[in-house]
Amino acid sequence: MRRGLSVGLVGSLALALVGCGIDDRKPDVSDRVYCDSYFKAVEDRTAACGGTSREALATALMTFDYCDVFAASQEVGAVAIDHAAADACVNEMATAACWEDTPACGHVFVGQLEEGAACYGFYDIGECAPGSYCAGATCPGTCIRHAQVGEACTSGVDPMCDPSLECAAGGTCEPSLPPVMVGDACPPAFCPPLSCVGPDGPLAVADPSHTGTCQLPAASGNPCIFDNDCVGHCVGAAPPTTYGICAPWKQIGDACTPGARECLSGTSCGPDSHCILLPALGESCVGYQGEGTACLNAWCNAGLCVPLGEVGQRCGGTGSFADSCGFLRGCEPQLSICLPTCSRLTTCGGVGQFCCAGQLCARGAVCAGGSCVPG
């Protein structure tokens, strides 16, 4: 079931465009403006609806930039921006309630490649023309037609249904259920981002012996079992049996209870029991009183936020980025070095390219030991 757009914002992609057959086309400057305004609207909506610290989002935007990926695909004519859809999407995200869908946002980036063309799929920036998608384990993939009503499908992998359909339990594409609305019975409806409420309060919908209706999230002070039962979040619940109380997210500087998950995403309960921004590059990430060891724009290694690994650097460890290589790079499992992943901003599957087990490589290379080697 489709929902309103939720995009995790991640950092600046400063890799060179290498060996990808780029022609002489230049991106329209106005499209970069549209792309930036689109992700700015995503940031605003995420901060307003997702319990996320705006300061943390701003730091993430300084580290990653989806619009560089868009520009790489646009330069070769593989994707374009629908300006009308971008305008409508920005307006929807500014005016729609947090639980409402933003349908125009699914049409901002428009793929231009026909069926059979080599393609790259990257987050919401799909390169294949409407009606098709980038499929396969090869690098690059191939644009193929979406499966239609009654045609065979496999949930989550190829062949995939048209976005207006869903892959039913029998393995065929069927019409998607309509979006959940206030007043729908639950179960069978699954309510998020609404709350499933029965005569005595919110329900754990995993228990089919209880029935209720989908309702708007409740204000602070009301009982809850899940975060979607609340305008803020649910404190002290242990689904499906132990109820908590709806409370607003704690902001930076607010007093907090260590380990209670009260602070906004991107923040944590600090050593003086007040919400603080997660540590950034070069700062300590020891994790105060069970609050975790995540970093804003780095990975946590031995209690310190260190730079994400560059291609060729050693990798491995634990923390906010478990492989330590970050965006557009992966940790080759046998050699434990960072190698580029498959994207228009990397080497497009050539020798030295990171690949998953069984994945194919371009230019006659083969995948061995987690990386592309000469065939």
Does position 211 have pLDDT exceeding 80, yes or no? Answer: yes
Does position 125 have pLDDT exceeding 80, yes or no? Answer: no
Mean of the pLDDT values across residues 248-274? Answer: 87
3-state secondary structure labels for all residues of the chain? CCCCCCCCCCECCCCCCCCCCCCCCCCCHHHHHHHHHHHHHHHHHHHHHCCECHHHHHHHHHHECHHHHHHHHHHCCCEEECHHHHHHHHHHHHHCCCCCCCHHHHHCEEECECCCCEECEECCEECECCCEEEECCCCCEEEEECECCCCECECCECCCECCCEEECCCCEEEECCCCCCCCCEECCCCCCCCEEEECCEECCCCCCCCCEEEECCECCCCEECCHHHECCEEECCECCCECEEEECCECCCCECCCCCCCECECEEECCCCEEEECCCCCCECCCCCCCCCCCCCCEEECCEEECCCCCCCECCCCCCCCCCCCCCEEEECCCCEEEECCCCCCCCCCCCCECCCCCCCCCCCEEECCEEECC
Percent with pLDDT over 90 in the chain: 22
Mean of the pLDDT values across residues 31-43? Answer: 85
Mean of the pLDDT values across residues 270-292? Answer: 82
pTM of structure = 0.69
Extents of the domains making up the chain: 1-140, 146-179, 185-244, 249-306, 308-375
The rounded distance, in Å, linking the Cα atoms of 320 and 268 is 13
Does position 304 have pLDDT exceeding 50, yes or no? Answer: yes
Does position 269 have pLDDT exceeding 90, yes or no? Answer: no
What pLDDT shows up at residue 363? 53
The rounded distance, in Å, linking the Cα atoms of 117 and 110 is 15
Relative to beta strand 371-373, strand 275-277 is unpaired
More confident residue, 374 or 48: 48
pLDDT tens digit sequence for 328-357 = 667 766 677 777 666 676 544 556 666 654
pLDDT tens digit sequence for 131-184 = 999 887 666 789 999 999 999 998 778 889 998 899 998 899 999 888 888 999
Lowest-confidence range among 56-70, 206-220, 361-375?
361-375
Does position 94 have pLDDT exceeding 80, yes or no? Answer: yes
What pLDDT shows up at residue 88? 93
Average pLDDT, the chain: 77
The rounded distance, in Å, linking the Cα atoms of 116 and 123 is 20
